[in-house]
Structures are given as structure tokens and as C-alpha cells.
């Protein structure tokens, strides 16, 4: 589905932007409040292959898309710029939002950082071998190529921050560039950070912002609010001149006076704290970081630490945390290797090999973490053990990295130095311990069963009921979208209590702000939709309480949410469909067609076709 194309198609046939009072979405459909429903071209909407059904009901015009509706909704909002309280994009928690912001700012720069890091490592290697002199033009040119990404970091971060905060990236780049302008650096003279000057009589503490991280991000974050404010109150005809003029007049001095020193001091404090811990007891630091880093990756927490490693390399010339992240990488590599040699499942063997190569050649662990270790459970424990034991050795030996890289075989040059041999030994320990621990712990391969005509299929999962209550067929629901199976095959539950449990292990890929519906993707790819009640999106979260966050890994039987069943029943049906939205790829074996059921009972089995 081309989300932009279908959103434009819907907008055209819904009567255009001016016909929309407001638009929201639930788990499967767009819900419009229109000025004039007679302007809707309903036949065109229903003839589209991308639209399941379009109709008017209860004062709303509903366009049913399926589980991809959030992406269509986002395109619709972006293209129409509809602004009202219920048309805001889904808001994540403060912590989740922070990590998502850090990730989106640094992710575009990772290829440049990785390339520069490998080049820096190779340059250090050939210099130590005596092949290139530090005084030669060749060395200086290649040093510029490998280190410029760090020197000009404020400009690059300002640009990617502007993309994240949706402001003019070129004005942002100029703000970042102003922090490392030669005249500003010359003011520092030979006194370094802490040199005093003034701005219209205001004392200014000068800092060297080259290679810094926090000042540029803070500056553009504040600038994003200023730009929106200026564009709201300045005539459009003069915005092209006035907005950048005022932005530079305000943000650059404000950054140099306030954000810059604050960011530098905070960054130095965090880096020095972690470095102090590493220096005071490298063994314990290595044990902890090497052991928990893969857990950080699962929850995206590594993005909070990456800037510290980058800052250490750019200011100190080396870092001791990067080697510990490599320890975690080789711990998961060892666990994946054990699965490769022990598994009897050809599909798992093939995937394990590709995941292992991804670690070795790119330092990318996500395929191994999500597709092997977490899916089979025990290999993840083996990986943590390997990373912890090898990490303790690497930390204890004080191994250094001279570039910010992902730990793999192709990035070995970044670690060339006095501790290179200890680094190699540490990686061997991580890989070996991870492999041995996983082999001893063991794991369960996907169970194979025969279904009809002796056709060999893989039993993917048993789905338990998400709610205690009475089982009913989908046809029991008074909503054609569900009862006719337009969103997929499944069954429904009439709840007798207001608690929702995870029906299987997987990732909570969809959690609506109204908390009335959950989308869970199993490790095998099956997508389960649990939709609490019918039209309960209209409650806007009232009477619902969630205990989980979008993106979180959930376990079968885990309590996901609670709802006030009595309050909701006053105006809405609480019957809850449980649907496999990509059921065309799976065969469903219904275990309970009717009668009472608890959340511990199997509702149906999923068998991959």
C-alpha cells in the first residue's frame, strides 16, 4: 500500500480538506466528522482495492483500512495539516519519546560515523606499522577525512535535529556552524574552555564546541519552537527574511550564553562519571555493560549512551565503552553460532547464519537478538552470559577504541593500539562463553506437525484467550467489518471481567492512545488484533488503563490493561474480537467455539501455510 497515494485518494473522494471537521482513527478505520456527507463519493471509495469498506454510521463517516490505518492517517494529517485535539499523532511516554528523538537524530549519521571510524582505525594501523608518517601529507589528508565528521559534529547534528523537530534544516545548519566559526574559536585564544567575554554587557563563558553533542541539539530544539512562533505571527510575504534573521539573532547568542556551556558541562560530567567508573573498576564496569547492553538494544536504550562514546572519542581521542558494546555483540554472535550448529530446523539454521554474518561484517545485532535469541529465549541468556564474562576481561584490561564503530570483524582496525591483543582475547571469550552457555542451556526448535494430506507445516503458536468470558463466533458481532471477516479470521469473547491479557509472546506493535485496542506481532510474523468493545474508540481512553507501552515485548498471560466493564456497557458493546489480521498466511484451528473460557485456556492455534 502506498500510504500517500491512498490518503490523497481518500481526501479527494471524502469531499476535500474543507469538508473535514475532524478526523481520528481507531485500530482499523478512519473516522471522519464531515460538513456535508453528500459530497462523499462512496462508490469510488468502496471500489478501491486498498479500502475494505466505507460507510456512514452514528454521525461519523468511516473508512476501513485495516491495521495499516495509522500510516494512512499520518499521511492524511501531514497533507491536510488538519489541527484539532483529536487529530494529534499518537504520543508516546516521555522516556520513549526521548529515546526515539535521540535515535532519529543519530541514525542518519551512523554510516558517516562508521566509515570514518574504520578509516581512522586503518590509518592508525598503517602508522603503527611504519608505512605512513604522521608528518606526511597523505597522513594529514586522511586524518582530515576520518576526523572531520567529529570536528563538524555541531553542524551535522543541527541538520538531523532539524529533520527530527521539523524545522528548516539549512537555518539549523547555520546555527550549528556558528558554534565553530573560526572567529569564535579565536576568542578562546590559549585559555581554552571557560574564557570570559561579553555580549551587550552580558558575561559569556566561551567554550570549544567542536565535536560537542548536546549544545547543537538543545539549540535546534529551542529553535523549533521559535520558528513555529514566528511563522504564526509574521506575514508570509516577509517570512523568508524575518524568520531566519530573528532566529539567528536570538538562538546563536542564547546558545553561546546559555545552552552551549550547559551542554558542554553536562556532557563532560556524564562522560567523566562513566569514565571514572571504568577507571576505578574496569572489571565490574565491563561485567555490567557487557552483560546488559543487549537488553539496552531490545528497549532502544543504547541511544542514550552512544553520544557519550562519541563525545569521549572526539574529546579524549579514545573510548572504553565501545569495546564493551562489542563484547555484547560477540556474546550474541556466540549464542547465534550455537543455534546454527545445534538447531535441526533448516529455516532457523539459515536465518542464524545470515544473522551471524550481519554481526561479523556490520556489527548489526538486531536480526540475531529478535529473530534468534529472544524467539528461542534461552540463547538470549547465553548471550548475556558471554557478553558479561568477556566484557569483564575487556574492561579489566582497559581496552580502548579510537573510533565510534559497531563491534564486528570489519571494525577491528578501530581498536588497534596498545590494548588490541587484549581486545581480541576478550572477543574470543565472549563468543566462546556465549556459544557454550547457549549449547548447554539448550532451546526448543519450532515443533513440526502434519496437517491434512501429510503436508508438513510448522506449528507456530497457541493463542490463549485475552479475556475471561464467553466464546462466540465473529458473526455474533453487530459490525459487518468484523462479523464478515473483512479484517481477518478469528473469534470473539463476551467479557465477564475487565482485564486483558497477552494471548501469546510477541511485540506490542500497536497501542492506541485510547487504549481500546492492541496489536501484537508474534516472532513468527502473525499479527493479532484484540479490539475491546465496538466503537469504544469514542470513549477517548475513558474507563481504560494500560500497563504496557508500544514496542514492548510481552509474554503470554501478561496483564496488558484493565477497563471498567460496567461503565462501558452503559453505552457500548464490550464484545471483543480476537483476529489474525494477516490470516491469509495462516491456518486457524479453533479450539473453543463457544462456552466459558479463561485467559489461561487455548482459544485457537495458528499454523503457517
Residues forming the active site: 26, 531
Spatial contact of 65 and 51, defined as CB atoms under 8 Å apart:
yes
β-pairing, 576-580 vs 553-554, is unpaired
| Number of neighbours of residue 486 by Cβ within 10 angstroms | 15
CB 211 within 8 A of CB 315: yes
Q: Are 204 and 193 in contact (CB under 8 A)?
A: no
Assign 242 to helix, strand or coil: helix
The CA distance from 247 to 260, in Å, is: 16
Please name which of 504, 506, 460, 295 lies closest in space to residue 381, comparing C-alpha atoms: 295
How far from 245 is each of 204, 227, 233, 248, 254, CA to CA, in Å? 22, 11, 15, 5, 14
Contact 180, 209 (CB under 8 A): yes
Q: What is the largest CA-CA distance in the chain?
A: 88
As a whole number of angstroms, the distance between CA 577 and CA 583 comes to 14
Distance CA 496, CA 188 (A): 71
Q: What is the C-alpha to C-alpha distance for residues 47 and 317, in angstroms, rounded to an integer?
A: 62
In the chain, % helix, strand, coil (3-state, to 5) comes to 55, 20, 30
Alpha-carbon span 98 to 416, nearest angstrom: 34
Closest alpha carbon to 568 in 595, 606, 536: 536
User: Dihedral angle at the C-alpha atoms of 519, 522, 528, 532, nearest 10 degrees?
Assistant: -50
User: DSSP letters of 106-153?
Assistant: HGGGHHHHHHHHHHHHHHHHHHHTTSS-TTSHHHHHHHHHHHHHHHTH
The three three-digit cell numbers of residue 411, written as one number? 571494525
CB-CB contact of 72 with 60 (8 Å): no
Provide φ and ψ at 501, rounded to 5°. -115, 155
Amino acid at each position: 500500500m502506498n500510504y500517500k497515494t491512498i490518503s490523497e485518494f481518500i481526501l479527494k473522494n471524502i469531499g476535500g480538506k474543507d469538508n473535514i471537521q475532524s478526523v481520528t482513527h481507531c485500530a482499523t478505520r478512519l473516522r471522519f466528522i464531515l460538513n456535508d456527507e453528500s459530497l462523499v463519493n462512496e462508490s469510488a471509495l468502496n471500489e478501491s482495492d486498498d479500502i475494505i469498506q466505507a460507510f456512514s454510521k452514528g454521525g461519523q463517516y468511516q473508512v476501513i483500512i485495516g491495521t495499516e490505518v495509522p500510516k494512512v492517517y499520518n499521511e492524511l494529517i501531514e497533507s491536510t495539516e488538519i489541527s484539532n485535539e483529536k487529530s494529534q499523532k499518537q504520543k508516546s511516554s516521555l522516556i520513549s519519546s526521548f529515546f526515539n528523538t535521540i535515535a532519529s537524530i543519530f541514525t542518519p549519521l551512523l554510516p558517516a560515523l562508521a566509515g570514518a571510524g574504520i578509516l581512522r582505525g586503518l590509518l592508525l594501523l598503517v602508522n603503527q606499522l611504519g608505512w605512513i608518517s604522521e608528518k606526511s601529507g597523505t597522513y594529514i589528508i586522511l586524518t582530515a577525512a576520518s576526523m572531520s565528521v567529529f570536528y563538524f559534529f555541531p553542524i551535522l547534528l543541527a541538520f538531523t535535529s532539524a529533520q527530527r523537530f521539523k524545522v528548516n534544516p539549512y537555518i539549523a545548519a547555520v546555527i550549528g556552524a556558528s558554534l565553530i566559526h573560526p572567529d569564535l574559536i579565536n576568542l578562546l585564544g590559549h585559555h581554552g574552555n571557560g574564557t570570559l567575554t561579553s555580549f551587550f554587557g552580558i558575561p559569556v563563558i566561551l567554550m570549544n564546541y567542536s565535536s560537542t553533542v548536546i549544545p547543537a541539539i538543545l539549540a535546534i530544539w529551542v529553535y523549533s519552537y521559535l520558528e513555529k512562533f514566528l511563522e504564526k505571527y509574521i506575514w508570509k510575504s516577509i517570512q523568508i527574511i524575518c524568520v531566519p534573521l530573528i532566529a539567528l539573532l536570538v538562538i546563536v547568542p542564547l546558545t553561546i550564553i546559555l545552552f552551549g556551556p550547559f551542554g558542554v558541562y553536562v556532557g563532560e560530567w556524564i562522560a567523566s562519571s562513566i569514565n571514572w567508573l571504568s577507571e576505578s573498576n574496569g572489571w565490574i564496569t565491563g561485567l555490567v555493560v557487557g552483560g546488559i547492553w543487549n537488553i539496552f538494544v531490545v528497549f532502544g536504550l543504547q541511544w542514550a549512551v552512544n553520544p557519550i562514546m562519541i563525545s569521549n572519542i572526539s574529546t579524549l581521542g579514545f573510548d572504553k565503552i565501545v569495546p564493551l558494546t562489542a563484547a555484547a555483540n560477540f556474546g550474541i554472535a556466540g549464542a547465534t553460532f550455537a543455534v546454527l550448529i545445534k538447531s535441526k530446523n533448516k529455516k532457523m539454521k539459515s536465518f542464524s547464519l545470515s544473522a551471524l554474518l550481519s554481526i561479523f561484517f556490520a556489527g548489526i545485532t538486531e536480526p540475531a537478538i529478535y529473530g534468534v535469541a529472544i524467539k528461542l529465549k534461552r540463547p538470549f541468556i547465553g548471550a548475556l552470559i558471554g557478553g558479561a564474562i568477556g566484557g569483564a576481561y575487556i574492561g579489566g584490561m582497559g581496552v580502548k577504541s579510537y573510533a565510534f564503530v559497531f563491534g564486528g570483524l570489519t571494525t577491528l582496525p578501530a581498536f588497534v593500539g596498545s590494548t588490541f591483543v587484549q581486545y581480541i582475547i576478550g572477543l574470543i571469550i565472549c563468543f566462546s562463553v556465549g556459544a557454550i552457555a547457549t549449547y548447554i542451556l539448550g532451546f526448543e526448535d519450532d515443533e513440526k506437525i502434519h496437517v491434512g494430506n501429510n503436508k508438513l507445516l510448522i506449528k507456530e503458536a497457541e493463542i490463549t484467550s485475552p479475556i475471561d468470558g464467553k466464546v462466540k463466533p465473529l458473526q455474533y458481532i453487530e459490525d459487518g467489518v468484523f462479523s464478515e471477516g473483512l479484517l481477518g479470521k478469528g473469534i470473539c469473547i463476551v467479557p465477564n471481567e475487565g482485564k486483558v491479557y497477552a494471548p501469546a509472546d510477541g511485540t506490542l506493535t500497536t497501542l492506541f492512545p485510547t487504549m481500546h485496542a492492541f496489536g501484537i506481532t508474534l516472532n513468527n510474523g502473525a499479527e493479532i488484533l484484540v479490539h475491546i468493545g465496538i466503537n469504544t474508540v469514542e470513549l477517548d481512553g475513558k474507563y481504560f488503563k494500560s500497563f504496557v507501552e508500544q514496542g514492548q515485548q510481552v509474554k503470554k498471560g501478561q496483564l496488558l490493561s484493565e477497563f471498567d466493564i460496567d461503565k462501558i456497557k452503559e453505552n457500548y458493546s464490550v464484545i471483543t474480537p480476537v483476529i489474525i489480521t494477516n490470516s491469509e498466511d495462516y491456518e486457524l484451528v479453533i479450539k473453543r467455539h463457544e462456552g466459558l473460557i479463561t485467559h489461561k485456556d487455548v482459544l485457537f492455534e495458528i499454523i503457517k501455510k
